[in-house]
Every structure is written in C-alpha cells, then in structure tokens.
Amino acid sequence: DRAVHRVHGRDFVRERADDRTWRVGEGGFWQVHPQAAELLVDAVMRGLTPRKGETAIDLYCGVGLFAGALADRVGEKGAVLGIESGKRAVADARKNLADFPRVRIEQGKVEKVLPRTGITEADLVVLDPPRTGAGRSIVESVAALGPRRIAYVACDPAALARDLAYFTRAGYRPRFLRAFDLFPMTHHMECVAILEPAAKGA
C-alpha cells in the first residue's frame, strides 16, 4: 500500500490506466511502477479476451482497475462483480466505476463475501491477491464457478505456484504464464497466469 499525503487538500491521487482516470485514496493499492497498471490490464485483457454480454468477477479488486477494464469490454449486457476488503478502496472503486450500471462492488474479505453472493457461475474471473496468495479454499470456490478463463495476477511466484497446483487439482491448467520486471533492481517479479479448464482441447 502506498502512503498518500494531502496535496492541495485532497487525500487521494489520480492515476491513469486503460484510458480512464482512477482515484486512489489514502492506504489504497496502486502499482508502484508508473507503467505497471497499464501493462497488467493489457496482459489480463489479452489473456481473458472478454466478450460482449459475459459475466466477470474481480477478486481483491482494489480501486476497481480490472473490474473497470472488464466492464468496458463486456458492455451493457454483461455484468461485473468486484470484491475488496478495504473500505476506502471500495468507496473509490464505486466512484471510479459509477458510470457502469452493471458493476457491483462488495466490501469484505473474499473468503466471506464470495460464498454469500449466491453466484454459482461466471464466464471470467480475475484474482489479484496480496503476497500470501489466494489459498486452497478460494481457488476451489473460483473453479466451482466454471469460468472459461481465469487471470491470476501474482506478486509472489511461490504463492502463485502453490495456488496453480490447487487449480490443477480443481480442473484448471495454465494456458500461459508471463513474468514482468515491475520492480527493477530487485528480485521481485509480477506474474500473470491465464488458466482454462483442463478438459478443453485435451
């Protein structure tokens, strides 16, 4: 999380990505590298190839970056649900995405909120968890929705590897995995894994 200091009386900053302006309030998450958000949206959208009318879920959605990109692409006949635990981030996400009537942002922990939504299927899922990863129970819940593609955005390759093994057991296989040097001169890497049902084309 980044510290946001009051600038001209505002306690948020504005960022640009995917041809939109995003407000990010105090304590809210935004990628540190100035080109990262754009790059990751592009990698996730290319991997998922959203279609008009599809339903999509953005888990750990922050201020709504992937939810907004998905909403733009699934159009007014589609629908997007975002889930995020940070109250301020949720308020920002709702403001950022106010012009999409078919986007809903739920506040709370994914592990509690996702089962309560009553949603039983989705075409696409993005998950961008903190360093600890999503874990087995969330992976199984995501797979149970039967998405045609899943995008897993990860800042810790070890947690990603563990969760990919859970996905494999739940019937999903990586279609491709890309690593991005978003933290130059450090050993950190950001990864985007695109998964699809293992039965497809098998």
Ligand X SMILES: C[S@@+](CC[C@H](N)C(=O)[O-])C[C@H]1O[C@@H](n2cnc3c(N)ncnc32)[C@H](O)[C@@H]1O
Q: Which residues are catalytically annotated? A: 155
**CA 186, CA 124: separation in Å to the nearest integer?**
32
CB atoms within 10 A of CB 43: 19
Residues in region 14-43 near ligand X by CB under 6 A: 29-30
- Per-position x/- string for 53-72, each x denoting binding to ligand X as judged by CB under 6 A, each - no binding: -------xxx--xx------
The distance of closest approach from Cβ of residue 16 to ligand X in the complex, given in angstroms and rounded to an integer, is 13
Q: Is 47 in the site for ligand X (CB under 6 A)?
A: no
Q: Is 130 in the site for ligand X (CB under 6 A)?
A: yes
The distance of closest approach from Cβ of residue 134 to ligand X in the complex, given in angstroms and rounded to an integer, is 9
Question: Residue 63, exposed/middle/buried by CB under 10 A (0-12, 13-18, 19+)?
Answer: buried
34, HSE (Cβ side, Cα atoms, 13 Å): 1
Helices 65-74 + 36-48 axis angle, to 10: 40
Residues in region 88-107 near ligand X by CB under 6 A: 89
Footprint of ligand X on this chain (CB under 6 A)? 29-30, 60-62, 65-66, 83-86, 89, 109-111, 128, 130
